[in-house]
Amino acid sequence: MGELQPGLYVVATPIGNLGDLSPRARDVLRDAAIVAAEDTRTTATLLRMAGSSARAVSLTEHNVDARIPELLAAAEESAVALVSDAGTPVVADPGARLVEAAHARGVRVFAIPGPSALAAAISVAGFEGTSVQFLGFLPRPKGERAETLRRAAASARVLVFFESPNRLEATLQELAELFDDPEAVVCRELTKVHEEVVRGRASELAERFAKTRGECTVVVRVPERPDSELDDVREYMKEMQRAGARRSAAAVEAARRFGVSKDVAYGMWDEDA
């Protein structure tokens, strides 16, 4: 692909199957001067595959701010690659701060697309719809986890998140309680030898994956709310309108109180009384 221009190259790496490393990603890793990675031990395998002599630099949640000046200075003179442990960088990892700093400093940023557990899970789930929200790793405390899911479901029809195998059963049970046992897909060990993609009701999947291992991505289809359940929201918005409240503020409060999309509540303002 010729000599690499100076800049920061955001390189997607395999999420399990090493055969998914693209030829372009291989070339960038081979020719980069520095490769910034969460775990340099994991990345060492890819660098050997690519025939790379690049210097591997750790980039973690704990040292990213300290590493940024060094990496950006190098990226102004040569090619610096950013990789995650697996998949596309900046999706639930600390690389976003480096990319943001590169833009602020005027360093060119190049995308080297490829494997992504997020995109892979959506593609095999089979849930149609453009309203998708990615939640990364859910909070550990049950109350915070439920609140995160409720808020996301108010504005999206499909939710995607990563989950620990140790918490997978509990989270699926919570989904069943929160959303009237919605359809969901558990993607376990994507692209690896023991890959599983199982679709069913959340309660069924909770039983199926009560004891499991490996990396899990969950896709959930949020059920449509019956119009009758929105009557309270509609009445609240009309009350706020009669009281002289601001439309946007009323919609925000309705979304918080009733767990609906702010846009849905906002639109009710103009409905006939």
Name the 3-class secondary structure at 160: strand
86: its two tokens? 């697996």
pLDDT tens per residue across all 273 residues of the chain: 568 999 999 999 999 999 999 999 999 999 999 999 999 998 999 999 999 999 999 999 999 999 999 999 999 999 999 999 999 999 878 899 999 999 999 999 999 999 999 999 999 999 987 789 999 999 999 889 998 998 888 778 899 999 999 999 999 999 999 998 999 999 999 999 999 999 999 999 999 999 999 999 999 999 876 665 678 888 888 899 899 999 999 888 888 788 777 777 888 888 765
- Taking the domains of the chain in order of start, what are their residue ranges? 7-115, 118-221, 227-268
- Return the CATH fold of 7-115: Cobalt-precorrin-4 Transmethylase; domain 1 (3.40.1010)
Distance, in Å, from the CA atom of 210 to the CA atom of 197, rounded to the nearest integer, reads 15
Distance, in Å, from the CA atom of 131 to the CA atom of 158, rounded to the nearest integer, reads 6
224: its two tokens? 């449509």
Predicted TM-score (pTM) of this structure: 0.81
Is domain 118-221 annotated with CATH 3.40.50.970? no
Long-range contact list for 210-213, CB < 8 A, 24+ apart?
A: 210/169, 211/169, 212/165, 212/168, 212/188, 213/165
